[in-house]
Amino acid sequence: MGLQKSFDTPKMVTIEKIVDETPTVRTLFFSDEILSKVLPGQFAMVWIPGVNEIPMSVMISQENGKAAFTVRKHGLATTELFSKKVGDQIGIRGPYGNSFTIKQGKMLLVGGGTGLVPLIRLVTFLKKSDDVTIIIGAKTRAEVFFEGLAKKLLEGTSHKVIVVTEDGSYSEKGLVTDVMEKLLKSNRFDAIYTCGPEKMMYKVVQIASQNKSYVEASIERMMKCGIGICGSCCFGDVMACKDGTVFDGTSLLVNKEFGFTHRNKSGMIENY
Ligand SMILES: Cc1cc2nc3c(=O)[nH]c(=O)nc-3n(C[C@H](O)[C@H](O)[C@H](O)COP(=O)(O)OP(=O)(O)OC[C@H]3O[C@@H](n4cnc5c(N)ncnc54)[C@H](O)[C@@H]3O)c2cc1C
Ligand code: FES
Tell me what pLDDT residue 3 has: 56
Counting atoms of ligand 1 from 1, which one is nearest the CA of 80?
A: 26
Which residues are paired to 29 by β-bridges?
A: 17, 68
| Tens digit of each residue's pLDDT (9 = 90 or more) over 235-260 | 999 999 999 999 999 999 999 999 99
Does the beta carbon of 136 sit less than 6 angstroms from any atom of ligand 1? Answer: no
241 alpha carbon, closest ligand: 2
DSSP element (H, E) containing 210: helix 198-210
Residue 33, SS3? helix
Share of the chain above pLDDT 90, in %: 94
What is the distance in A from the centroid of ligand 1 to the CA of 76?
10
* pLDDT classification of 13: cutoffs 50, 70, 90: very high
What b-and-e string marks burial along 136-153, b requiring 16 or more CB atoms within 10 Å of the CB? Answer: bbbeeeebbbbbebbeeb
Residue 8 vs residues 83, 93, 95, 250: alpha-carbon distances, Å: 25, 5, 9, 31
Mean pLDDT within 141-158: 95
Counting atoms of ligand 2 from 1, which one is nearest the CA of 230?
A: 2
Q: How far apart are CA 262 and CA 198, in angstroms?
A: 10
What is the distance in A from the centroid of ligand 2 to the CA of 171?
39
**First-to-last CA distance in the chain?**
35
Average pLDDT score over the chain = 95
Residue 233, SS3? coil
What is the distance in A from the centroid of ligand 2 to the CA of 224?
6
Q: How far apart are CA 37 and CA 31, in angstroms?
A: 11
Confirm if 63 and 19 have CB atoms less than 8 A apart: no
| Tens digit of each residue's pLDDT (9 = 90 or more) over 225-235 | 999 999 999 99
- Give 11 or 6, the one with higher predicted confidence: 11
Tell me what pLDDT residue 123 has: 96
The answer to whether domain 7-96 has CATH 3.40.50.2300 is: no
* CATH class of the domain at 106-271: alpha beta
| Surface-to-core class of residue 120, CB atoms within 10 Å of its CB (0-12 exposed, 13-18 middle, 19+ buried) | buried
What does the radius of gyration of the chain's CA atoms come to, in whole angstroms? 18
* pLDDT classification of 144: cutoffs 50, 70, 90: very high
DSSP string, 67-132: EEEEEE--SHHHHHHHT--TT-EEEEEEEES-------SEEEEEEEGGGHHHHHHHHTTS-TTSEE
How many DSSP H helices and E strands does the chain contain?
Answer: 7, 18
* pLDDT classification of 272: cutoffs 50, 70, 90: confident
Counting atoms of ligand 1 from 1, which one is nearest the CA of 220?
A: 53
Does the beta carbon of 268 sit less than 6 angstroms from any atom of ligand 1? Answer: no
* Helix-helix angle 147-154:116-123, to 10 degrees: 20
Amino acid at 200: M
Counting atoms of ligand 2 from 1, which one is nearest the CA of 229?
A: 3
pLDDT value at 2 more than 60: no
Query: Is omega for the bond preceding 245 within 30 degrees of 0, making it cis?
Result: yes
pLDDT value at 147 more than 90: yes
What is the distance in A from the centroid of ligand 2 to the CA of 22?
31
Probe target for ligand 1 pocket from 25, 46, 54, 268, with the most ligand atoms within 8 Å of CB: 54
| Tens digit of each residue's pLDDT (9 = 90 or more) over 102-130 | 999 999 999 999 999 999 999 999 999 89
Query: Is omega for the bond preceding 10 within 30 degrees of 0, making it cis?
Result: no
| Tens digit of each residue's pLDDT (9 = 90 or more) over 16-63 | 999 999 999 999 999 999 999 999 999 999 999 999 999 999 999 999
Closest C-alpha residue for ligand 2 atom 3? 228
What is the distance in A from the centroid of ligand 2 to the CA of 236?
13
User: Is the Cα torsion angle 86, 87, 89, 94 positive or negative in sign?
Assistant: positive
Ordered by start, the domain boundaries in the chain are 7-96, 106-271
